[in-house]
A and B are shown apart, each in its own frame.
Chain A
Amino acid sequence: MNQGILKGLRILDFTWVLAGPYATRILADFGAEVIKVQSKKTAGGAESNLTGYFSHWNRNKRSITLDMSTPEAKEIVLRLARISDVVIENFSTRVMSNWGLDYERLKEVRPDIIMVSMSGMGQTGPWKDFVAFGPALQALSGLTYLTSFAQESPLGVGYAYADPVAGLHAALAILAALEFRDRTGKGQCIDLSQYEAMCTLLGPALLNASANHKDISPQGNHSDNVSAAPYGCYQCSGADRWCVIGVFNESEWESLCNILGRPDWTREERFSHLSKRKENKEDLDRFLEQWTLQHSPEEVVNLLQQGGVAAGVVQNAEDLANDPHLMARDFFVPLEHPVLGKTVADASPIKFKKNSRDKWKAAPLLGEDNRYVYTELLGFTEGELSSYIEKGIIT
């Protein structure tokens, strides 16, 4: 912590649950000093410091407590903003302005402040006050509708994907604003809509709807847009074991047929060309699955990849935790937590080959950094600090 690329960058972090904490985690991983503002009242559920969820998303950050409902809190936040580069929040619109802490006010104490607001819908528009969590944003963006099998009712992605997506966009926006500030000396107010962030990842489908005026239907693992056949997910031997295979060109097709011991298929009229194979994909998929069912997904994937065919194991959490490739790349790192003990964190997928990884610290306990932030950074005397604590302002 505090030795990386973003050393010296201070972020005052009002975000909670996932989209916001995901963004600040990326910046904390690279050395930014992220000060997470918590309180006894808000540190519940997924924001409770001793849960796995909290500890996973808040490593490398600092925690202070401050009860934002008290009138004194505002002055303290302004003092913190004065020494911060970035203020980030993912409240509903108006929360910050109700506290008297909107961008205009923050700018008075820190003219080049970068303020990021990342609400579900954005700061303007008829839905600006709507509440939306990841799954709702996935539904609104078209992702849920299209991630389904044609005959079934919508299924969608099995987790809150919209949160990391919004968090990634927010981290990118902050770094771009810093780049701009370095060049011009100017701060910035950023209005990020999580709804829009999810929609941008459906871009080609949205263009298809707007340019071709088409009704687009879900196709499961198939897609008219992929020029590959076979292409899909196939059951293997073992309980709930699956592999995926994608065959994009003729040499891969020949290779697949040889591995299956069916070189004769390459001479069959119905499989003679990609377009033919797409037409007859049901036959093809059935034949292929008869073969995959006799093997473990690892066997299938080894054989096919050796033959130059794209194939993958459908991995679950346990497979991932023990994945030899991820281990060889040091993708999982141990972190010692003062209460939870030994924990495992995922490394950043942003791998700098020249830079060795920064020293990481487990997620903070509630208010762990009160003393550092309030006395060292803000210069409170011990007496002031204990008086704020007694009054329940720092709590």
Chain B
Amino acid sequence: MKTRDPNMNLLEGIRILDLADEKASFCTKLLADMGASVIKVERPGGDVSRKIGPFLGDFPHPERSLFFLHNNTNKLGITLNLEHSEGKRIFRRLVDRVDVVVESFSPGYLKDRGLSFEILSRTNPKLILVSVTGFGQEGPRSQYKSCDIVSSAFGGQMYVSGSPSTPPLKPFGEQSYYAASLFAAIGILLALRKRNLSGEGEHIDISLQEAVVSTLEHVMIQYFYEKTIPKRQGSLHWNNSFCILPCKDGHILMSLFQRWETLVEWMDSEGMAEDLKDEKYKREEFRQNHLDHIVEVLERWTKRHTANELFELGQLMRFPWAPVCSPEKILESPQLKSRGFFVEVGHPEIGTFIQYPRAPYKFDGCSLDRWERAPLVGEDNMEIYQRELGLSEEELKRLSSIHAI
């Protein structure tokens, strides 16, 4: 493994144990990609999130989950059985050597195994424990089962997404897990600062539902300040400022109110402005009240162009438009290519490189250019158990034979 120059490594020296499943593996990925040392602790056989697709070559296998590979870059990986008394003992030894533990078990799971925050803090009083669960550690719903669609529904994403004629729609991907992971990662760095001041550890309680509610933009504001309940309205943005229209070859997201006169001139130069040239349309209020008609006329025009034509010409005239891109198109984005957004990560065991998206920030004083693929199941058992904990080879064999690791 390439080592990082400590003087150029953002999160040098921060040590994290990652016990999380799909709900929070992205949290420690964020920190590992910034240079923290993260050890992923998986149950023997591998974490459940290795079963989540898509899979490399469409072949379901624990080492081929692209979901797992994406969310576990730059981590080391060991296996450990927390259901086993010897496994627990080893876990305690590991916990005593780290700054942070991230977990996503049901509330009470660790406590029932004698591994509560209070007990872990006795031997590591500076420990920061982060628990990411569907509904948080306390409250009437804390024992409810959750998954992305449940957090999305309970958190308010779905009610406002979709169109009036469709069921509510869950945002694509595991957005509740990512939002919660971002809050959790921020919480960890806050807790580390607090620890520097007070010398004390902390238990951070993150709820997927709350993470979702916190990222809803206008939804709660409309309710608290205007007592209105935002509803889903298709691709028309909640304040009517954007909508999606068909093009020759796809779709374009357009603003409906900005730079109106320039827009009408442009359409008129192609003989397609129709009655939008009328003086009355210059008033925004009139346009708001005649939105359906405007969209119809616009659509006749957008259909004569490709999405990219409209995007690039439009941007030259400062229209904040964008084509609706599929993932394949994103790989071709000249902007992302120019900024080196996709990095080649080696997968020597299958003899290939895969393009991964890197972190979205560049630090001029630090390098974030170490990219190691996610660990194979138990890949670093030797490194951690022998070199870090000093277990002998015989001891490792014994622990393995009793299924402790």
Chain A residues in the interface with B (C-beta under 8 A)? 5-6, 18, 26, 30, 51-53, 55-56, 103, 121-122, 124-128, 130-137, 139-149, 152-161, 163-166, 168-173, 175-180, 182-184, 186-197, 199-216, 218, 220-221, 224-228, 231-235, 240, 242-244, 246, 248, 305, 308-321, 323-326, 328-329, 331, 340, 343-344, 346-355
Q: Report B-chain residues with C-beta under 8 Å of the C-beta of A177.
A: 10, 363
At the interface, yes or no: B210 with Cβ under 8 Å from chain A? yes
Contact between B326 and A5, CB atoms less than 8 A apart: no
Q: Report B-chain residues with C-beta under 8 Å of the C-beta of A196.
A: 336, 339, 341, 357-358, 360
Distance of A312 Cα from B157 Cα, bound (Å): 12
Contact between A326 and B224, CB atoms less than 8 A apart: no
Distance of A364 Cα from B331 Cα, bound (Å): 43
CB distance from B86 to the nearest CB of A (A): 28
Distance of A81 Cα from B234 Cα, bound (Å): 44
At the interface, yes or no: B313 with Cβ under 8 Å from chain A? no
Q: Report B-chain residues with C-beta under 8 Å of the C-beta of A323.
A: 154
Q: Report A-chain residues with C-beta under 8 Å of the C-beta of B178.
A: 165, 201
Chain B residues in the interface with A (C-beta under 8 A)? 7, 10-14, 30, 34, 51-54, 56-58, 66-67, 69-71, 117, 135-141, 144-147, 149-163, 166-173, 175, 178-180, 182-187, 189-194, 196-197, 200, 202-207, 209-211, 213-226, 229-235, 237-238, 242, 244, 246, 251, 253, 315, 318-331, 333-336, 338-339, 341-342, 354-366
Contact between A152 and B166, CB atoms less than 8 A apart: yes
Contact between B150 and A312, CB atoms less than 8 A apart: yes
Q: Report A-chain residues with C-beta under 8 Å of the C-beta of B190.
A: 5-6, 30, 175, 350, 352
Distance of A351 Cα from B129 Cα, bound (Å): 12
Known: A149-B166, A176-B10. A224 touches B53 (CB 8 A): yes
Q: Which of B137, B186, B218 contacts A175 (CB 8 A)?
A: B186
Known: A144-B244, A156-B235, A314-B153. A228 touches B147 (CB 8 A): yes
Distance of A192 Cα from B362 Cα, bound (Å): 6
Q: Report B-chain residues with C-beta under 8 Å of the C-beta of A121.
A: 335
Known: A5-B190, A147-B161. A201 touches B173 (CB 8 A): yes
- 16 extra interchain contacts, Cβ-Cβ under 8 A, other than A193-B361, A206-B330, A310-B144? A26-B186, A135-B242, A139-B322, A144-B244, A183-B13, A189-B364, A193-B360, A204-B66, A207-B54, A227-B51, A315-B155, A317-B159, A349-B206, A351-B136, A351-B204, A352-B203
CB distance from A28 to the nearest CB of B (A): 12
CB distance from A263 to the nearest CB of B (A): 21
Q: Report A-chain residues with C-beta under 8 Å of the C-beta of B184.
A: 350
Q: Which of A158, A179, A203, A233 contacts B160 (CB 8 A)?
A: A158
CB distance from A137 to the nearest CB of B (A): 7
Q: Report B-chain residues with C-beta under 8 Å of the C-beta of A5.
A: 190-191, 193-194, 197
Contact between B161 and A225, CB atoms less than 8 A apart: no
Contact between B321 and A136, CB atoms less than 8 A apart: yes
Distance of A175 Cα from B219 Cα, bound (Å): 28
Contact between A200 and B185, CB atoms less than 8 A apart: no
Contact between A169 and B182, CB atoms less than 8 A apart: yes
Contact between A352 and B223, CB atoms less than 8 A apart: no
Distance of A325 Cα from B154 Cα, bound (Å): 10
Contact between B203 and A188, CB atoms less than 8 A apart: no
Q: Report B-chain residues with C-beta under 8 Å of the C-beta of A315.
A: 153-156, 159
CB distance from A55 to the nearest CB of B (A): 8
Q: Report A-chain residues with C-beta under 8 Å of the C-beta of B210.
A: 326, 329, 331, 347, 349, 351
Contact between B253 and A135, CB atoms less than 8 A apart: yes
Known: A212-B57, A233-B149. A52 touches B66 (CB 8 A): no
CB distance from B28 to the nearest CB of A (A): 13
Name the residue on B nearest A8 (C-beta). B197
Contact between B325 and A140, CB atoms less than 8 A apart: yes
Q: Which of B139, B151, B160, B330 contacts A312 (CB 8 A)?
A: B151
Name the residue on A nearest B167 (C-beta). A233
Known: A135-B237, A308-B145, A329-B207. A218 touches B172 (CB 8 A): yes
Name the residue on A nearest B224 (C-beta). A344
Contact between A328 and B140, CB atoms less than 8 A apart: yes
Q: Report A-chain residues with C-beta under 8 Å of the C-beta of B362.
A: 122, 190-192
Distance of A169 Cα from B361 Cα, bound (Å): 8
Contact between A160 and B338, CB atoms less than 8 A apart: no
Contact between B193 and A155, CB atoms less than 8 A apart: no
Distance of A354 Cα from B361 Cα, bound (Å): 32
Q: Report B-chain residues with C-beta under 8 Å of the C-beta of A142.
A: 172, 325-327, 329-330
Q: Which of B70, B182, B237, B330 contacts A209 (CB 8 A)?
A: B330
Contact between B145 and A305, CB atoms less than 8 A apart: yes
CB distance from A105 to the nearest CB of B (A): 15
Known: A155-B235, A188-B366, A350-B190. A244 touches B149 (CB 8 A): yes
Contact between A203 and B70, CB atoms less than 8 A apart: yes
Known: A30-B190, A153-B251. A211 touches B139 (CB 8 A): no
Q: Report A-chain residues with C-beta under 8 Å of the C-beta of B14.
A: 179
Q: Report A-chain residues with C-beta under 8 Å of the C-beta of B166.
A: 149, 152, 155, 220
Q: Report A-chain residues with C-beta under 8 Å of the C-beta of B179.
A: 164-165, 168
Contact between B330 and A193, CB atoms less than 8 A apart: no
Distance of A324 Cα from B144 Cα, bound (Å): 14
Q: Report B-chain residues with C-beta under 8 Å of the C-beta of A156.
A: 161, 235, 244, 324
Distance of A228 Cα from B229 Cα, bound (Å): 31
Contact between B185 and A149, CB atoms less than 8 A apart: no
Q: Report B-chain residues with C-beta under 8 Å of the C-beta of A52.
A: 221-222, 224-226
Distance of A171 Cα from B251 Cα, bound (Å): 33
Q: Report A-chain residues with C-beta under 8 Å of the C-beta of B137.
A: 353
